[in-house]
Structure 1
Amino acid sequence: MSAPRLELRGIAKRFDGLAVLDEISLHVRKGEFVSILGPSGAGKSTIFKLLTGGLAPDAGSVAFDGAPLLAERRPFAFMPQHDALMPWRRIIDNTTLGLEVQGMSRSAARERVMTLFPEFGLAGFEQHWPAQLSGGMRQRAALLRTVVQERDMLLLDEPFGALDALTRAGMQRWLQTMWERHSWTTLLITHDVREAVFLSDRIYVLTDRPARVLTEISVSLPRPRLDLASAQASAIEADLLHTLLNSTSEQRNRPCLTAVI
């Protein structure tokens, strides 16, 4: 079994005395698709802020390829919950933004991203404005902007949470296809149990705040995954829901957490 690309050990974080993360440990190996699943407000996005440099942990360590994660070298391409496309830039210029920020010339950045527009279902929309695209197309443009930077790992923070159910399902299938084609090492934050089962090799389930890793589940469903109505998929989903609901109920009944939202 290969060594982890990303490894978090004993990560803890507090805000104004309130414990948000409590001894979080997890890892992601090369080419894996790993999800972090937990209730809303459990601190999932705080983990990503620690990885992307927005926050520093109070305790614990983060390593990438066996070495401490350095502030000056963040090997992640990050996609947040909302597409964050700039409305005053055409789609071609939105997708090149990350490359230009890294110092690549506009012409070279355009040359790199243009080859990917057909693969991302955006051919013919290069000169459109973000407002002219559907929600799913905007998310594909945002993901193109993310992966074209060719970083070592993708961080996806509920990228389809704002989409309607039908569009979200289509995007999940599309992401599965792209992940299999490119072998991206991926860490996804989600509160959608079915999405986690559909996309993941492994799932870390967090408790309510202060978040701990309650359990780790391997998803042994064959790929490509076309039928989440199968008995095996339904059983995994039911087990995850049961675990989350019981954990949330137990945590919220503790007197020390009655003031936590």
Structure 2
Amino acid sequence: MSRPCLELHRLRKSFGAVDVLTDISLTVLPGEFVSILGPSGAGKSTILQMLIGATDPDMGTMLLNGAPLVPKRDRFAFMPQRDALMPWRRIIDNTTLGLEVAGLSREAARAEVTPLFAEFGLAGFEQHYPAQLSGGMRQRAALLRTVVQQRPMLLLDEPFGALDALTRTQMQRWLAKMWSRHHWTVLLITHDVREAVLLSDRIYVLSSRPAHVVHQFRVPRDHPRQGVGSPALAAIEAEILQTLLHPED
């Protein structure tokens, strides 16, 4: 088995008198798609905030490739729920933003990003503004801006949560195909059980706050998955729902 590229051990986090995370331990292997599920307010996004250095754990260790994680040095490719595209920048300039912040010239950044527009379903929309794109296209542009930075891992914080049901399903299937093609290493925060089953190799289920890991599910690998109609995947989905409803049983 490959050595984990990310290891979290016994993480704890409180905000004032509120205990948010009490015992979070998980691993992510290279090229693996791992999801974290849990009730609203359980602190799922706080885990990603600790990884990117927006807040620090009170206790516990975070390792990247076996060494202590230093968030300001070991940067992840992070995509929040909202696309966060700048409305005054054209799509080509939004997708190159991370590369330009990293020091690439505008011309070099465009040379990196332009060949990927067709693969991300954005060919012909390079000169459009975000307001001229559909919700799904905006999310694809945000994901392109994220992955082109060539970070070792993608952190996705409910990236499709703001989309309507049909667009969300389309984006989930598209992401499954893209992950299978590019073999990204992904840690996804989601509240959508079906989304987690569709996309993931493994799923960690958290309790309510203060959150701890109550169960880990392994999903049979048959990527790209086109749906969760198979009896095996439907059974996993049902078991996860039961765990969320009765986490301590």
Q: Considering the TM-score relative to the shorter chain, is it more than 0.5? A: yes
Using the alignment, how far apart are the partners of 1:50 and 1:223 within structure 2? Answer: 30
Residue equivalent to 2:101: 101
2:74 aligned counterpart, secondary structure: coil
**Aligned AA (2:141):** A
Using the alignment, how far apart are the partners of 2:123 and 2:28 within structure 1? Answer: 33
Asked if structure 2 preserves the Cα contact closer than 8 Å seen for 1:14 and 1:58, the reply is yes
Residue equivalent to 1:234: 234
Using the alignment, how far apart are the partners of 2:160 and 2:72 within structure 1? Answer: 29
Quick check: 1:213 aligned with 2:213? Answer: yes
Q: Which consecutive unaligned segments of at least 5 residues does structure 2 have?
A: none
2:171 aligned counterpart, secondary structure: helix
1:8 aligned counterpart, secondary structure: strand
**Aligned AA (1:109):** A
For these two proteins, the number of residue pairs brought into alignment is 249
- List per-residue Cα deviations over 1:41-62 (Å, max 9, x = no partner): 1000000000000000000010
2:10 aligned counterpart, secondary structure: strand
Using the alignment, how far apart are the partners of 2:204 and 2:210 within structure 1? Answer: 15
Quick check: 1:76 aligned with 2:76? Answer: yes
Quick check: 1:49 aligned with 2:41? Answer: no
**Aligned AA (1:44):** K
Residue equivalent to 2:26: 26
Listed as ranges, the matches of 1:190-205 within 5 Å are 190-205=190-205
Using the alignment, how far apart are the partners of 1:128 and 1:227 within structure 2? Answer: 32
Using the alignment, how far apart are the partners of 2:134 and 2:57 within structure 1? Answer: 38
Listed as ranges, the matches of 1:105-120 within 5 Å are 105-120=105-120
**Aligned AA (1:239):** E
1:78 aligned counterpart, secondary structure: strand
Asked if structure 2 preserves the Cα contact closer than 8 Å seen for 1:6 and 1:28, the reply is yes
Residue equivalent to 1:141: 141
1:212 aligned counterpart, secondary structure: strand
Using the alignment, how far apart are the partners of 1:138 and 1:223 within structure 2? Answer: 25
**Aligned AA (1:29):** L
Asked if structure 2 preserves the Cα contact closer than 8 Å seen for 1:221 and 1:232, the reply is no
215 and 90 in structure 1: CA distance in 2 versus 1, 3 angstrom threshold: same
Q: Which consecutive unaligned segments of at least 5 residues does structure 1 have?
A: 252-261
1:46 aligned counterpart, secondary structure: helix
Residue equivalent to 1:7: 7
**Aligned AA (2:219):** V
Using the alignment, how far apart are the partners of 1:70 and 1:234 within structure 2? Answer: 39
Using the alignment, how far apart are the partners of 2:168 and 2:246 within structure 1? Answer: 27
1:234 aligned counterpart, secondary structure: helix
Quick check: 1:167 aligned with 2:167? Answer: yes
Structure 1 stretches (4+) deviating beyond 6 angstroms?
none
Instruction: Quote how far apart the aligned CAs of 1:196 are.
Output: 0.3
Using the alignment, how far apart are the partners of 2:9 and 2:25 within structure 1? Answer: 4
Instruction: Quote how far apart the aligned CAs of 1:232 are.
Output: 1.1
Instruction: Quote how far apart the aligned CAs of 1:224 are.
Output: 2.2
Instruction: Quote how far apart the aligned CAs of 1:222 are.
Output: 2.0
2:63 aligned counterpart, secondary structure: strand
Identity fraction in percent: 68
Instruction: Quote how far apart the aligned CAs of 1:221 are.
Output: 4.7
Normalising by structure 1, we get a TM-score of 0.93
71 and 222 in structure 1: CA distance in 2 versus 1, 3 angstrom threshold: closer
Using the alignment, how far apart are the partners of 1:10 and 1:150 within structure 2? Answer: 29
Asked if structure 2 preserves the Cα contact closer than 8 Å seen for 1:7 and 1:25, the reply is yes
Q: Structure 1 residues 67-76 or 152-161, which shifts more?
A: 67-76
Instruction: Quote how far apart the aligned CAs of 1:73 are.
Output: 1.2
Using the alignment, how far apart are the partners of 2:85 and 2:63 within structure 1? Answer: 31
- List per-residue Cα deviations over 1:164-191 (Å, max 9, x = no partner): 1110111001001110111000000000
- List per-residue Cα deviations over 1:95-149 (Å, max 9, x = no partner): 0000111111111001110010000000000000000000000000000000000
**Aligned AA (1:202):** R
Using the alignment, how far apart are the partners of 1:246 and 1:169 within structure 2? Answer: 27
